[in-house]
A and B are shown apart, each in its own frame.
Chain A
Amino acid sequence: MTTLLLPPARLLLRLLERLWLVAVLAAGWWFVSADSTSVYFPALSAIWDALVSGITSGTIRTDVTYSLTNIVLGLVLATIVGTALGILIGELERLRQVLDPFLQFVRSVPQSALIPIVIGALGIGQAPKIYMIAFACVWPVLLNTIDGVRAIAPEVRDMAKAYQIPHSLRLRRMVLPAAMPQIMAGVRVSLAVGVVVMVVSEIFSATVGIGHFINTAGSVFDISAAWAGTLVVGALGYLLSLAFIVVEKAMLGWYFKSAGASSGGATTRTRGKATK
């Protein structure tokens, strides 16, 4: 909460606190691998060179743009579809009971395993990859949304009934915000799933993308470049999760703040129940 207005000195300290381990590990890797003669574990300096040349004269920038577009579009698509369907299924208990075995089944299927089939069916363009990411990411969002909707307190539902809140208004202003913490937790899971599917989908029959970059480098035994690509994926994942945190804070400000403010309220609530 206080991160917004930190004095520069404390900000610097915070940053150092977060970065020191990364720096130590990187330095360790650098020195330990310095004399490496292994083909598969090249020196970090070689990987670094491959990364720099990949960025300056190679295709990494195009690849990253392509991959990033895919995952962002896929994730947005999955979030919209997952939330909408999740609210529908969560609200209609009968529908949920009918769909439950199916949802549990689909959730258990490893999404990456479907990639060859989807690409075979839809082709090798960009759109099939986006759909593939969306398809993999939709399940955590969907299942979390259903749980979130079902967890809405009966008091809230009574309130909506007693005050005759119309359906659309209720869904928009009560159900959606009430389920939002769970929805965001689902998106967080989807983000990790999405990164994996993004890379894997580019390994199968692609001409561009960071997964394609890694795959191509590996197949011509340019292991340093493959490592460089992997590091880029890691950095990409980290940046995406940072962006996610910003979005989450913006959407769930009330949630984090009320959790901090009402720790006393929870005990009041239990007491109220007990005295009834």
Chain B
Amino acid sequence: MTTAEHLDLLDERRARHPLAVKGLSKSYGEGSTAVRVLEDLDVRVEPNEIVCIVGPSGVGKTTLLRCLAGLLAPTTGAVMFGPTTMTGPILEVGVVFQDYSRSLLPWMRTRENVSFPLQGKGMRKAARRALADQCLNAVGLPDAGRKYPWQLSGGMQQRAAIARALAYQSEVLLMDEPFASVDAQTRFDLEDLVLHLRKRLGISVVVVTHDIDEAVYLADRVVVLSGHPAHVVDVVEVPFGQDRDQIQTKAEPAFTEARARILGRIRR
């Protein structure tokens, strides 16, 4: 396979299907001791959209994301990818975990980490390698393939985790508090990387975060969860389009407005 073909592989990753939860509720435990975490949620992620899920700590954001990923089965309701009901993890939905330092395997070089899920799909070694290199390029890590994850900084490790999700040919990226443990500057860079990848590859992205500024900066729509059990208390449309800038966008009145509205919702 030539490099050009792989470029196509990466570019043709346009999201075609919406990812949605319909009437989703999730309880932990059984019988009288069951704890209801999520109550009757309806959230829809359109193709090529970025949706952020915010809410107070412990509200169940991660639970929702795990349901979207097919890692947790909903108690009632359904997770739909396009017209089909998800019963487990699927190829089209890739996950970037919060704890990148553990989800990257320390005994594999970064390139192997990125290409490892492709081995499970039966892709040949040369093709895996080429695709992994390309995805590492796409996230701005052209030289990290031969290094081990623990030789990379936190921000670079998270980039590698994103590359792994891209290599898996996901149209939808699910990110759980992806930038919670990197410094502010790295965080801005990674946020811009997500915006860039969305634009370039046409993928959809779901980001769970506790950082309202981050949510407004990234999202086309911010879904606000609150209460016990958690339900959707607000959906805030963010009108900035695909091109955003850390300084200008954050200075817009609409940014401040959205931010204040979400904060008010969470505080209440």
Contacts and interface: CB of A to CB of B under 8 A. Distances in A.
B123 to A, nearest CB: 12
B180 A155 contact: no
Residue of A174, A255, A265 most packed against chain B (CB within 10 A) = A265
Residue of B91, B95, B103, B119 most packed against chain A (CB within 10 A) = B103
Contacts of B91: 164
Interface in B109-158: 116-117, 119-121, 148, 150-151, 154
Contacts, number: 91
Nearest to A170: B120
A265 B101 contact: yes
A271 B101 CA distance: 12
Contacts of B210: 275-276
Contacts of A121: none
Given A173-B116, A177-B107, A276-B210, A162 B69 contact: yes
B98 A272 contact: yes
Q: Which bracket fits the contact residues of B?
A: 20 to 34
A156 B105 contact: yes
Given A254-B148, A272-B180, A272-B181, A265 B105 contact: no
Given A262-B150, A271-B181, A276-B57, A162 B89 contact: yes
Given A275-B180, A276-B57, A268 B154 contact: yes
A101 interface: no
27 contacts: A153-B99, A155-B99, A158-B71, A158-B103, A159-B103, A162-B69, A162-B89, A163-B95, A163-B164, A164-B120, A164-B121, A165-B120, A173-B105, A173-B119, A177-B105, A254-B148, A255-B107, A257-B150, A258-B106, A265-B154, A268-B101, A269-B99, A269-B102, A272-B98, A272-B99, A275-B181, A276-B98
Interface of A: 153, 155-156, 158-159, 161-166, 169, 173-174, 177-178, 180, 254-255, 257-258, 261-262, 265, 268-269, 271-272, 275-276
Interface of B: 57, 69-71, 89, 91, 94-95, 97-99, 101-103, 105-108, 116-117, 119-121, 148, 150-151, 154, 164, 168, 177, 180-181, 210
